[in-house]
Chains A and B, each alone.
Chain A
Amino acid sequence: MIKDLFTATVIIGIISSGIRLATPYLYAAIGEMFGQRSGVLNLGVEGQMLLGAFVAYFVVLRTESLLLAILAAIGVGALMGLAMGFVTIQLQATQGIAGIGFYLFGMGMSNLLFQKLIGVVENIDGFSAIKIPLLGDIPVIGEIFFRQNLLVYLAFLLVPLAWFVLNKTTLGLKIRAVGENPEAADSLGVNVALVRYFTVTLGGILSSIAGASLSVALLNVFQQNMTAGQGFIAVALVYFGSWRPFGILAGALLFSMVNALQLWIQVLGIPIPSELAVMLPYILTILVLTLSLTKGKGPSALTKAFEREG
């Protein structure tokens, strides 16, 4: 029983699926991080994920092209992001509430389209695992890290890339400036609205890819509400990781590992209530947010609309 958890195969299995399950969190939370660093809180991630998941799945079902599926997800995500941008940047709507609106919209739309266009749950051929030459042959490590599918690799590459863009490029500097002090950034000639449009649209695209990674790379199926709150967790991960890409990576892995563990507990029939395992990361997040010392250091202008004087 409990002993079964500690065999090599099971441990490798847990870590390997934990890595895989971190994928959607990474895309969505990194996207959300860019938005928040520029001052926009997007609570609609869940809705964007669901739409992305549906669109990608639908395209694979009809065309069997994974490339087209990802492109379609990017398109839908960009549209959702632009809409969120228009409402919160142009019309200065309260960000938290607008986000809930987009969440309901995305959920309703994806359910509607699924019921109308497909109806029955059908498996598809999604992204398959790619074994990286040489590295994939290393025992244990190869199995865990280097026999995943393309979207998993890209998600993990996104973390250092996001770090680089945010900290080492002019664009990153602008994003941070706009999130900390839009008035000052504006007076230095930074186009605050444009920067925010960029980050929110990027966030929409990444959330949509996060959803697609579920439906065409991890589970290879679409079900209604299949994201099951992962979009909201992605938002929480940004706080959890103190708005830093590597902090987010740590949080994402924590959530996904516990999730993987809980799946294996069920598979092995170990008599621990799986509900307890599922709720653990949430409790942990609340605790971390309560006890962490860095939590006060979010972007100063987060949730504040910006308007030029005159």
Chain B
Amino acid sequence: MSQSKKLTSHPAKKRFAAVFDSFMPIFATIAALLVGAIFLLLLDANPITAYSALLEGAFGSFNAFAETLVKAIPLLLVGLGTCIAYRGSVTNIGGEGQMIVGALLSTWIGLSFTNLPGWLMITIAMLAGILGGAVWGGLPGVLKAYFNVNEILSTVMMNAIAVQIMNYMLRGPMIDPVQAEAASQIPQTARLEMAYRLPRLVPTRLHIGLLIAIILAVMVYVLLWRTTLGYRIRAVGQNQSAAKYGGIDVKKHIVLALLLSGAFAGLAGMMQVYGVNYRMITDGSATGFTGNAGFNGIVAALFGQLHPLITIPASILFGGLLVGANSMQRIVQVPSALITALNGLVVVFVVSSEYFRRRSQRKRIAFIESEDEGKPPKERSEGLGEAAS
């Protein structure tokens, strides 16, 4: 008790504790990188050489950094959706499927109408991507809200269904006419018209999607903390029965949280096609199209403490890890899969670090309570997304 008294009686120290807490994800990442260093040593690679190759590959040159930003775009968009969903206490792990459906719908429209002005088609395609993702995320939302179906499961199932739809469409109805004729039968669509491609920002592969994603991040921040809708989503996320008692339609907001979350992933899928590949191609797996962005976006958002603005640098960091992994692979001959493993560790460490944050928070709350009401300190504050069931 005396320790927490000291902690709160000095504002500076209190602030330090809060700052310390907000750095938890960074400590967690450093911990993951240290474990990674051990793996590197076991694999006969020098961790310092490896990590500097990684840094160099991600941020070392103008082109490298542009490539990092390209990779960060889908992570940021999926991450923004994650912020909304997890703030509303729904666990959306259907980012992969939502990206695929958003991409399929927007690609289909782009290939169907070939002589619209570029800006018009890009707008329509973005809406199509958003719509596709929203449907693919909204359906699990409806199932959760009105039929009590666990959304973790339904989103996983929807991922698997989306992959099969993609494989079918790219092998059948949407196949590139050239491939349909050829013996190779590569399951891919035709290329989009030149005019339909997202404009590039600088003479690299970096496209305008970055600006759009950053603007959306600000909008998500405003949505969550400056609008009634956002307030309600968060209220439902924090305490369903209290929200219900306060007159909020809990079911509706569960659906909205998942639907919005899916919409962002759908847009990410659209941008992969219109901004990067200009066509869809499948190797039969979800990862083949998304590059695991549907999962890595969650990692970025968690790292950004489910705050849309912090998710921006977090996405750039993880985009950098993904790009840097390739040059690390080249230089120290360690497969880039190491980075996937490390991303997993980052997630594990970040969610674990919540424990320490809660503990120090509890100490502070306990102090305030005991001072204000003379009650014994025992309340614990809830962590994020507690109600995953």
Contact = CB atoms under 8 A, between A and B. Distances in A.
Contact of A285 (B157, B352, B355): B157
B1 interface: no
Nearest to A117: B43
Contacts of A47: 344
Contact of B388 (A96, A104, A283, A285): A96
B287 A108 contact: no
B165 interface: yes
B133 to A, nearest CB: 18
Interface string A104-132: 11111101100110000000000000000
Contacts of A96: 91, 93, 152, 385, 388
A194 interface: no
Contact of B154 (A83, A289, A307): A289
Given A97-B302, A98-B347, A101-B347, A229 B160 contact: yes
A47 B93 CA distance: 15
A18 B358 CA distance: 48
Contact of B347 (A41, A104, A279, A283): A104
Interface string A17-29: 0000000000000
Contacts of A115: 335, 337
Contact of A101 (B149, B285, B348, B380): B348
A267 interface: no
A279 B148 contact: no
Contact of B346 (A101, A103, A225, A309): A101
At the interface, is chain A mostly helix, strand, loop or mixed?
helix
A309 B380 CA distance: 11
A94 B143 contact: no
Interface centre among A105, A106, A229 (most CB of B within 10 A): A105
A157 to B, nearest CB: 27
Contacts of B160: 229, 232-233, 279, 282
A94 to B, nearest CB: 5
Contacts of A233: 160
B389 A303 contact: yes
Given A91-B355, A94-B388, A289 B295 contact: no
A108 B342 contact: yes
Interface string B312-344: 000000000000000000000011011111111
A87 B352 contact: yes
Interface centre among B148, B165, B292, B337 (most CB of A within 10 A): B337
Interface in A283-310: 283, 285-286, 289-291, 295-296, 298, 302-304, 307, 309
Interface string B158-177: 11110011011001100000
A291 B343 CA distance: 37
Given A93-B352, A275-B165, A286 B154 contact: yes
A39 to B, nearest CB: 10
Contacts of A109: 337, 341
A43 interface: yes
Contacts of A298: 389
A205 interface: no
Contacts of B248: none
Contact of A236 (B156, B165, B345): B156
Interface of B: 39, 43, 91, 93, 143, 147-150, 152-154, 156-161, 164-165, 167-168, 171-172, 285, 287, 292, 295, 298-299, 302, 334-335, 337-348, 351-352, 354-355, 358, 378, 380, 383-389
18 contacts: A87-B348, A92-B358, A93-B351, A94-B351, A94-B354, A94-B385, A96-B388, A101-B347, A102-B348, A103-B295, A104-B344, A105-B345, A108-B339, A112-B335, A116-B335, A233-B160, A235-B153, A279-B164
Interface of A: 41, 43, 47, 83, 87, 91-98, 100-109, 111-112, 115-116, 225, 228-229, 232-233, 235-236, 239, 273, 275-276, 278-279, 282-283, 285-286, 289-291, 295-296, 298, 302-304, 307, 309
